[in-house]
Chain A
Amino acid sequence: MAKKITAPLTEATVKELRAGDSVLISGIIYTGRDAAHKRLFEAIKEGKPLPFKLEGAVIYYVGPSPAKPGQVIGSAGPTTSYRMDVYSPLLIERGLRGMIGKGNRTRPVIEAMKKFGAVYFAAVGGAAALIARSIKAAKVIAYDELGPEAVQELRVEEFPAIVINDILGNDLYEQGVAQYRKE
């Protein structure tokens, strides 16, 4: 049974989530991938304002395809997360509570999640047409010139994801693979 949670995430919600939990996320999340992360990271370092409030926020690593007429957003599946790993610990330290992507995170990100209280969710990579159905509104709020890498505010309803890393340091990828490895 999937847990229904609301974004932005509260500290209490994050504490309850465990690796392996299926979740349905409703509320407001923000898109951000490579180029946007570089800008957010530099803005923090330079003490400049950010385009959205980081405390409690969930960032979805996605660069959607363009919306066809009548669509809210184009196809919108996750991109591979490790490319954000160099930037994520600072964002987590500044209040980021959730990240949605796909693929394994490195140790510094997992440690930052434990220390500051954040979770990492995976969405199904490549299931982009299916995932787009849970996105009900989308608007570019920053870095429009980056095209598919611009930051968008998304209103999602029951966005399906699974908890990979929780605040205890559990890692669903490692647990799952260990269970089925035969060589």
Chain B
Amino acid sequence: MREIPFAQVRDTVARLCVEANCLLGEDVVRAFRQALETEESEAGRGILKQCLENEEIARRDMVPMCQDTGWAVVWVELGSGVRISGGALGDAIQEGVAKGYTDGYLRKSIVKDPLRRENTKDNTPAIIYYDLVPGDGLKITLQPKGGGAENMSEVRMLSAADGAEGIKKFVVDRVARSKANPCPPVVVGVGIGGTLEKCALLAKHALLREIGSVHPDPFYAAMEEELLERINRLGIGPQGLGGTTTALAVFIEAFPCHIATMPCAVNINCHAARHRSAEL
């Protein structure tokens, strides 16, 4: 049994919180640059230039690219041959998030109760999803998720009779109704299948994919391409000021389905499409 010390997990999580918020992924930067070449609106190009300039400042000064440093959503792939010594894995992650957000000057955006709304002051609790996998590795992915784009997300319980076109209409309509609110150009995560909550998880997990990557299933690769094209014909554009770049990518994750159901979830990410992983 391989042992990983509690402190190593905690400190890795703390580092990931800061890095995810200050260092935007190269795939997103590349997508901004590509969009700058194709965007038809002058105002839209101006916004994209500011996104690039902002990314440079954040990287150089190690400051958050956005003041909303998000919910700390944590994806864990825990090998069956690993144990954490000196404490529980969940505690190490929670302590790491508190440390990262406090020592890293990140915003504390979480309230203790949805109705009574008192700030927890250290951005905990993190939301943690565990996947138990073979081997003796531990992979941790930090996905800081901003509130503005999360608010534009939705699950709908469609029927098999709605078919692929029903899914497409729902996804495009969800982005259309979001207008300028979620900080376009957005990344659109789509979950299809599973149960109500599984479907939402698929949509959130889909947002971890690298922009520019192609879905391994040609059926869904084609659907992603069509959805991206249709979304970019909506005219919303960068920051909703009008333009041809409303989304940078559409990512679909599909899962087996009950014969009576066809749920579809749309999880919108703002242009600060942040995530950072470490393997211990």
Contacts and interface: CB of A to CB of B under 8 A. Distances in A.
A96 B183 CA distance: 25
Interface string A65-107: 1111001001111011010000000000000000000111000
A128 to B, nearest CB: 4
Considering residues A74, A79, A126, A147, which has the most beta carbons from chain B within 10 angstroms of its beta carbon? A126
B242 A130 contact: no
Interface stretch (B8-16, B39-47, B129-137, B199-207): B39-47
B50 A127 contact: yes
Interface string A114-150: 0000000010111111101100000000000011110
Q: Which range holds the interface residue count of chain A?
A: 35 or more
A75 B63 contact: yes
B235 A180 contact: yes
B87 to A, nearest CB: 28
Contacts of B271: 126
Contacts, number: 159
Contacts of B181: 80, 82, 102-104
Question: Closest 5 interchain pairs by CB?
Answer: A176-B242, A181-B235, A180-B235, A103-B181, A125-B183
Considering residues B106, B180, B183, which has the most beta carbons from chain A within 10 angstroms of its beta carbon? B180
A63 B54 contact: no
Nearest to B151: A80
B119 interface: yes
Contact of A103 (B53, B106, B233, B240): B240
29 contacts: A63-B107, A64-B67, A65-B67, A66-B106, A67-B105, A71-B63, A74-B64, A74-B67, A74-B107, A75-B65, A77-B67, A82-B181, A102-B183, A102-B240, A103-B180, A124-B50, A124-B54, A127-B54, A128-B64, A130-B54, A132-B63, A148-B67, A172-B241, A173-B180, A177-B235, A177-B242, A180-B41, A182-B233, A183-B230
B30 to A, nearest CB: 17
Nearest to A83: B151
Interface string B197-240: 00000000000000000000000000000000010011111011
Interface in B171-210: 179-183
Contact of A177 (B65, B147, B234): B234
A35 interface: yes
